[in-house]
Amino acid sequence: MIISRTPYRISFFGGGTDYPDWYLKNGGSVLSSTINKYCYITAKYSTNLNETHHKIIWTHIENVYSFKDILHPAVREGLQQLNLDESKGLEIYHSGDLPARTGIGSSSSFCVGLINTLSNLVENPLNKMDLALKAIELEQDILNEKVGSQDQVAASFGGLNKIIFNTNGSIEVKKIDVSDEAIKTLNNNIALYYTGTRIGRNSSDVISDMVSNFDSNISLLTELESFVDEGIALLKKSDITNFGKLLNESWKIKKSLGKEISNKQINDIYDIAMNNGAYGGKILGAGGAGFIMFVVPESNKKTLRSALNRYSEVSFEFENTGSSIILNSK
């Protein structure tokens, strides 16, 4: 039995420039960090000697005799991507600390965790970059999902990083050298709220609208990327006030890139937060619903919590391990 634990992520700056449609022409970069909320994938060979069928447990329980009959698209295609032996019965289980499709990179964390688990099951473990690239290939090239390339890298490597996307398709990960105290200060001055799941449309739908406008938003996306290095400089000085204000400027631009990134509910939540002490914030992920993050002085968190009492606050800490195998009992 193999069990992997793969973190979800929070992206601060540069989102949008991690899509191949953008960075293969213009380059791109993001500033993001993983958090101690995780996706867990368990895989083992079936111990039922009379049967060789496969069991997949997620929101459904699947019992199938062939990989091609698996309903879960990432599992079905991931098993074939890694050329696993279909003659051996497999059992795969998934669970997560936070709801899926909520902007914290859950689909990419799932793909990274799945590939990490299965590659270790067949005794062919991958390094961090190869793991990320395999997950990008699975989501973008095999599943044809309209997703960026930052989430897979963040989930694989873990930690607070500047992730650089080059026009030749290569990716670089630069760990941000900040003190533990600066990380703690940032953590203590962030509030994360759950607005609900996206109804009717998934993130790919929201992103398609944004991507279709890339050519007409070149100056805006270039400005968004410039905030990455500004944000890093502010973090190194533990200047949380201006880090939050920069996040506010970034959000104003980001929500103008597509008509479905924000909506009345999100705008109302944002306004309430800004009127109750927040310096800035953003919806996480593609937008439209899910988690919203605010940079707010620790002293104002209680006030903000009261103002947003309709919504669930999620406590977290930053983490730096990335996707890891927490049990290998073969």
* Amino acid symbol at 47: T
Q: Which neighbouring-strand residues pair with 42?
A: 3, 93
Which of 128, 157, 177 is at the close of a domain? 177
Query: In angstroms, rounded to a whole number, what is the distance separating the alpha carbons of residues 296 and 306?
Result: 14
Which of 177, 211, 233 is at the close of a domain? 177
Q: CA neighbours within 13 Å on the CB side: how many for 295?
A: 25
Domain identity same for 146 and 7: yes
- Pairing relation of β-strands 171-175 and 90-96? unpaired
Residue 326 inside a domain? The answer is: no
Q: CA neighbours within 13 Å on the CB side: how many for 111?
A: 28
Q: Which long-range contacts (CB under 8 A, 24 or more apart) does 181-189 make?
A: 181/238, 182/235, 182/236, 182/238, 183/318, 185/238, 185/240, 186/235, 186/238, 186/240, 186/243, 186/318, 187/316, 187/317, 187/318, 188/298, 189/240, 189/244, 189/295, 189/296, 189/297, 189/298
Domain identity same for 230 and 120: no
Domain identity same for 92 and 198: no
**Tokens matching residue 184:** 């703690």
Domain identity same for 262 and 280: yes
> What CATH number is attached to the domain comprising 110?
3.30.230.10
Domain identity same for 246 and 100: no
122 Cβ contact list (under 8 Å, min separation 6): 82, 84, 85
Domain identity same for 172 and 223: no
Residue 94 inside a domain? The answer is: yes
Residue 247 inside a domain? The answer is: yes
As for how many domains the chain has, the answer is 2
Which of 177, 201, 227 is at the close of a domain? 177
**Tokens matching residue 263:** 């909506």
Residue 323 inside a domain? The answer is: no
Which domain covers residue 221, as residue numbers?
180-318
Q: Residue 314's closest CA among 159, 190, 152? A: 190
Residue 324 inside a domain? The answer is: no
Residue 328 inside a domain? The answer is: no
Domain identity same for 172 and 197: no
pLDDT in tens, the chain (330 residues): 999 999 999 999 999 999 999 999 999 999 999 999 999 999 999 876 556 589 999 989 999 999 999 999 999 999 999 999 998 899 999 999 999 889 999 999 999 999 999 999 999 999 999 999 999 999 999 999 999 999 999 999 999 999 999 999 999 999 999 999 999 999 999 999 999 865 544 566 678 888 888 999 999 999 999 999 999 999 999 999 999 999 999 999 999 998 888 999 999 999 999 999 999 999 998 788 899 999 999 999 999 999 999 999 999 999 999 999 999 997
Residue 95 inside a domain? The answer is: yes
> What CATH number is attached to the domain comprising 307?
3.30.70.890
Domain identity same for 56 and 42: yes
Q: With helix as H, strand as E and coil as C, how does the chain read?
A: CEEEEEEEEEEEECCCCCCHHHHHHHCEEEEEEEEEEEEEEEEEECCCCCCCCEEEECCCEEEECCHHHCCCHHHHHHHHHCCCCCCCCEEEEEEECCCCCCCCCHHHHHHHHHHHHHHHHCCCCCCHHHHHHHHHHHHHHHCCCCCCCHHHHHHHHCCEEEEEECCCCCEEEEECCCCHHHHHHHHHCEEEEECCCCCCCCHHHHHHHHHCCHHHCHHHHHHHHHHHHHHHHHHHCCCHHHHHHHHHHHHHHHCCCCCCCCCHHHHHHHHHHHCCCCCEEEECCCCCCCEEEEECCHHHHHHHHHHCCCCEECCCCEECCCCEEEEECC
Domain identity same for 189 and 264: yes
Domain identity same for 258 and 167: no
Domain identity same for 45 and 164: yes
Domain identity same for 53 and 165: yes
- Pairing relation of β-strands 160-165 and 171-175? antiparallel
Residue 327 inside a domain? The answer is: no
